[in-house]
Amino acid sequence: MHTAPRLIALAARLVPSAARAEWKREWTAEVLHRRASLERRGAFGWTARLDLALRILGALPDALAMRRIATRWDDMEAGLFTARPVRTLGACAVLAVAAAVLTVGFTAIASSGASAPGILAVAAVSIGTGLLLASVEAAAGVLTGVPATPIWTRPASAARRHDRDATLVALLGAAEGLALTLAASRWPPTSGAERILSKGLGSGAFAFHAGVSAALAILLALRLRRAPAG
Amino acid sequence: MCARFNLTYPTALVLRALAEGYRHGFDLMDVTGLASGTVYPLLRRLEALGLVAARWEAEDAAHREGRPARRYYQLSAEGAAVLADASRKFTGLDAGLRSPGSARPDPV
C-alpha cells in the first residue's frame, strides 16, 4: 500500500493544475477510508489488498477524463465572445487573413506557369492543411466560449487560457499560410502526375480555405445572434 | 437531455445507484460492479453535464472518525430526469445493482 500514494501522485500529473489538489485529496480520502474500514473488520487480507490496488489503478483513466473534460470544446457554453469581443474578432480576422494569403499565393503561383508547386510543396500542403484543421478546431473553441460552470477552474483562469489559445490560433494560421506559400514557390514539378496532383491540391486548398473562412464567419454571426443581453 | 450524450447502461447504473443513496466513488463501484476506471470518468462527465453535483463532506465529522473528508456525489434535478429516461430505456436497472457488501447508502 506504500505504492498507493505514489500511483495517485503519478496520475495526478495528468490532472489540470487547478483541479489537481482536490483530485488527489478525493482519491487519497477514498483509499484511506476503504483501507481503514477493511482493517476495522479484520478483512484486509491479500484479496482485499489486490482489490484496493486494482481500484487505485483507476486513478489513471480518471485523471485522463479530468484532462479531457477540462479541454473539451463541445461542452462549453456561450460567454467568451461577449467577454472578449475584440480579441475574439481579432483571432478570427488573423486566421482569415492567413487563409487568404495561402489561397492567393497558391492561385498566383499555380496560374503563373513559371514555377508551379512540386512534390515537396504538395507534402507541405497536406501537413499544412492538417495544421489548419487543428487551428480551426481551436478557433471554434475560442468562438464558442468558456464553460459556464467550469470544473474546478475559476472563470478568470479559463478566460486567460482562451485568450492564449486565440493568440496561438492566429499565429499558427499566419505561419502556416506563409510557410506553404514559400514552399509552393520553391520546387517545380518533375512529372505530369506531380503537376496534376499539385494543381488539384491547389484548387482543393483554395476551396477548403474559402470554406473555412466562410464557416468561421457564419459561426461568428450565429454567436452574435445568441449573445445574451447584458 | 438524452440527446446531449449517449446514455449507456453503465451511466444509467451509476445514476440509479446515486438515487439509491450511494454517494461515494468506491461505494458506487461496489454496488454497480463497475471498475474505478469506469465509475470515476462517468462521474466527472455527469458532473460536467450538470446531472450530478459533488461536494465535500464536513471536515469535523470525518475527523471524528479519524479519517480525511470524502467527496460525495448527488443526483441533480436534471440527473433525476435523465434517470427516469434511463429506467424506460433499460428495463431491469434495479437488478443491475449488486448487494452492497461493505457499502451502505448514506442518509439522503
User: Could you give the CA distance from residue A6 to residue A60 in angstroms, rounded to a whole number?
Assistant: 12
Contact B49, A70 (CB under 8 A): no
Read off the C-alpha cell for A101: 494569403
Q: How many CB atoms lie within 10 A of CB B13?
A: 25
Q: Does B49 touch chain A (CB under 8 A)?
A: yes
Q: Does A149 touch chain B (CB under 8 A)?
A: yes
Q: What is the pTM of this model?
A: 0.54
User: Could you give the CA distance from residue A124 to residue A148 in angstroms, rounded to a whole number?
Assistant: 39
Contacts of residue B91, Cβ cutoff 8 Å, sequence gap at least 6: none
pLDDT at B26: 94
ipTM above 0.85, yes or no: yes
Of B38, B40, B50, Cβ closest to residue A149? B50
pLDDT at A55: 92
Contact B36, A60 (CB under 8 A): no
Of B26, B37, B66, Cβ closest to residue A30? B26
Higher pLDDT, A60 or B95: A60
pLDDT per residue as tens, chain A (230 positions): 456 788 899 899 888 877 889 999 999 999 999 998 999 889 889 999 999 999 999 999 999 888 777 654 433 433 444 455 565 566 566 666 666 666 666 666 555 655 444 555 555 555 555 555 545 544 545 444 433 332 233 344 444 555 555 455 555 555 555 555 555 555 565 667 666 666 666 566 556 555 555 555 555 555 545 444 33
Q: With H, G, I as helix, E, B as strand and everything else as coil, classify residue B71.
A: strand
pLDDT at B18: 95
Of A33, A34, A69, Cβ closest to residue B44? A69
Q: With H, G, I as helix, E, B as strand and everything else as coil, classify residue A115.
A: coil
pLDDT at A184: 56
User: Could you give the CA distance from residue B41 to residue B34 in angstroms, rounded to a whole number?
Assistant: 11
CA distances from B55 to A76, A84, B73, B75 (A): 22, 31, 7, 11
Among A63, A77, A65, A81, smallest CA distance to A26 is for: A63
Regarding beta strands B71-75 and B52-56, do their DSSP bridges make them parallel or antiparallel, or are they unpaired? antiparallel
pLDDT at B63: 85
B54 bridge partner residues:
B73
Q: Does A222 touch chain B (CB under 8 A)?
A: no
